[in-house]
Amino acid sequence: MKKFSRVLGVLGITALVFSSCDSKNGTATSGSTGGESSEIKISDLKIAYIHTDSVINNYTYFVEKSAEIAEKGKKFEGELSNRAKGFEQEVANFQKSANTMTMNQARAKEEELVTKERNLVTYRDNIMQELSADENKLYNEVYDRIQVYLKDYAKDNELEMILSYTRGGGVWYANEALDITKSVSEGINKSYETSKTAAPAPESK
């Protein structure tokens, strides 16, 4: 049960951290102080960067799908809790009536309970694996979607490279004037909303 709760904790993709970067569309500018120039244009270096975590956490598609996975996790948690309570009650009943059973009856019941416990653990492990697979699949989909969008974004803004700026990553410093996180987040969400609106309605049977 504790392991399952930890898995649900990993699905903290519902407890999303929304952050914003003070960038402007077209020419990324820094809203922070520190003496850095805010007049650098993207076209000057043809290089820009995004805070990858921020783009992901602010991506509407990611938020919606994360909520679906979290809801699925809650459903599984409820089912597992009900099964566990039923098993615990069955064990308690056996403990109360064990003295009235023959040795063979008691042994048979013990074997039955051991099997049920094993099945319960297997069920728990299976749903943990399923939720983990759903989460990994979502991240892969999101990375693919962002990559496709950035390819078009770079073309539209005449960029030759867009870096991923993350703490502990390969880039230790970048002028904040080259930060296009806000512009990318707004653009990819607008693109997603447009695609939902343009999607054909399911045919009625």
Q: Which alpha helices (DSSP H) does the chain contain, by range?
A: 2-10, 42-45, 52-57, 60-97, 103-156, 181-198
Name the maximum alpha-carbon separation found in the chain.
Answer: 88
Give just the sign of the alpha carbon dihedral 150, 23, 38, 172.
negative
> Using a CB cutoff of 8 Å and minimum separation of 24, what contacts does 113-119 make?
113/87, 116/87, 116/90, 117/87
Could you tell me if residue 176 is inside a domain?
A: yes
Could you tell me if residue 201 is inside a domain?
A: no
Tell me what pLDDT residue 35 has.
46
Asked if 13 contacts 171 with a C-beta cutoff of 8 angstroms, the reply is no
How many structural domains are present in the chain? 1
Q: What pLDDT, in 10s, does the model give residues 159-188?
A: 999 999 888 888 888 888 899 999 999 999
Select from 192, 188, 178 the least CA-distant residue to 45: 178
Could you tell me if residue 202 is inside a domain?
A: no
Taking residues 133-159, report their average pLDDT. Answer: 96
Could you tell me if residue 204 is inside a domain?
A: no
Taking residues 88-108, report their average pLDDT. Answer: 92
Domain that holds residue 116: 2-193
Residue 103 in this model has a pLDDT that exceeds 60: yes
Higher pLDDT, 130 or 200: 130
Could you tell me if residue 108 is inside a domain?
A: yes
What is the token pair recorded at 200? 């054909």
User: What pTM was estimated for this model as a whole?
Assistant: 0.69
What is the C-alpha separation between 32 and 30, in angstroms, rounded? Answer: 6
Select from 46, 45, 44, 41 the least CA-distant residue to 25: 41
Radius of gyration of the chain (CA): 26
What is the C-alpha separation between 202 and 138, in angstroms, rounded? Answer: 23
Could you tell me if residue 105 is inside a domain?
A: yes
